[in-house]
Amino acid sequence: MTQTILSAKDLAVTFDVRPQGAWPWTKALKLHAVGGVSFDLAAGECLGVVGESGSGKSTLARAIVGTVPISGGEVLFEGKDLAAMDPTARRVHRKDVQMIFQDPLAALNPRMPVGDIIAEPLVTHYPNTPRKEVKQRVAELMDRVGLLPNLINRYPHEFSGGQCQRIGIARALILRPKLLICDEPVSALDVSVQAQVVNLLAELRRDMGLSMIFIAHDLSVVKHISDRIVVMYLGQLMETAGARKLCTVPEHPYTQALISSVPIPDPVLEAARHRPILEGELPSPLRPPSGCVFRTRCPKAQPSCAEKRPEVQNLGDGHLVACPFHAPAEVLAPV
């Protein structure tokens, strides 16, 4: 039986937001960034997370890492509740969970050479490591991610976006973590460079036995690297299933709309396939709709959808869907 390395149970993140120009005594509004999301991540597995901008993907990642406070639920890493740990215990576990950020250049200190940037986590967590060993590990990682070791003394502005992202990957892997969280690591890169970075991450995951959470907008990219995919909308889980199954037989109307938005490089198939189009705008997380948060844009919405939040149904084989009126897509070409 595969060991579960990470488990989120009813994870919720809310922020207090005070309207601009409001009086100091004005009651703050609650922004529901993540609302009761649950999932398990097995050791060595890659879990993809997709959804529109504002669906809570990055906040979910930051809650797991610990850079934003959890408002409800729990995050268990190797069976231990991260939120309940004291700062000392959390520091010990922090080296096992590393993150790659969306903007590769903004994530690097412009005043530090590349060698120091990559070595910083190792020096922070293991200050007694000999300098020769630190330099050797940095050079090995630079070579592993496709960077020439003789570039070790250059600064971030001297590299391209793809090279900066490789530096960020090397920095995240210097501690040999067990879990790597990739927060839209290819969205700021050219298409050709995206493929190189995704293939590099897949290769590193296989060689190092990493568990991974891969966040992105592009379903075709997520399908390529992920074992399972979680679809989020306005902070809530809509559907989760194996990557191939979710992309070929989606059940939730939102998942079907997301997949239909991905173009197919075949004009005949593109013209013939059914394309459900989402109407309206994403509601504000300050005032989410009652019941099902997707009901205001859902083509299958019924009056009962406004009454209560839909229960997550298990369709078997790890396929979960939060919609009482779910049905497989009639005509959808695979991504």
> How many C-beta atoms lie closer than 10 Å to residue 59's C-beta?
22
Give the pLDDT band (50/70/90) at residue 331. Answer: very low
Stretch 306-324: mean pLDDT: 91
Query: Do 234 and 293 form a contact (C-beta atoms < 8 A)?
Result: yes
Please tell me the predicted confidence (pLDDT) of residue 130.
94
Rounded CA gap, 4 and 22, in Å?
A: 46
The strand pair at 72-77 and 4-17 is best described as: antiparallel
Percent of the chain predicted with pLDDT > 90: 55
Dihedral sign (CA 133, 139, 141, 143): negative
Which structural domains are found in the chain, ordered by start?
A: 1-18+28-44+51-90+217-335 (3.40.50.300)
Stretch 93-120: mean pLDDT: 91
Burial of 281 per CB tally in 10 Å (0-12, 13-18, 19+) = exposed
For residue 147, give the amino acid letter.
L
pLDDT digits (tens, 9 = 90+) for 61-73: 999 998 899 999 9
Query: Do 13 and 34 form a contact (C-beta atoms < 8 A)?
Result: yes
The candidate with the shortest Cα–Cα distance to 27, out of 37, 17, 35, is 17
Q: In what order do the strands lie in the sheet with 29-42?
A: 29-42, 4-17, 72-77, 80-81
Q: What is the value of pTM for the model shown?
A: 0.90
Which parts of the chain fold into alpha helices (H)?
A: 57-65, 87-94, 114-125, 131-144, 161-173, 191-208, 219-225, 243-248, 253-260, 267-272
Rounded CA gap, 6 and 232, in Å?
A: 18
For residue 20, what are its two tokens? Answer: 């601009």
Question: Element (H or E) spanning 102, and its range?
Answer: none
Question: Element (H or E) spanning 217, and its range?
Answer: none
Stretch 101-107: mean pLDDT: 86
Query: Do 126 and 203 form a contact (C-beta atoms < 8 A)?
Result: no
pLDDT digits (tens, 9 = 90+) for 221-232: 898 899 999 999
Tell me which of 140-149, 264-273, 293-302 is least confident: 264-273
Percent of the chain predicted with pLDDT > 70: 97
The average confidence (pLDDT) of the chain is: 88
Stretch 254-268: mean pLDDT: 82
Rounded CA gap, 19 and 9, in Å?
A: 31
**DSSP label at 261?**
T
pLDDT tops 90 at residue 104: no
User: 96 or 84: whose pLDDT is higher?
Assistant: 96
The candidate with the shortest Cα–Cα distance to 45, out of 239, 242, 186, 196, is 242
pLDDT tops 80 at residue 274: no
Rounded CA gap, 281 and 297, in Å?
A: 8
Please tell me the predicted confidence (pLDDT) of residue 50.
94
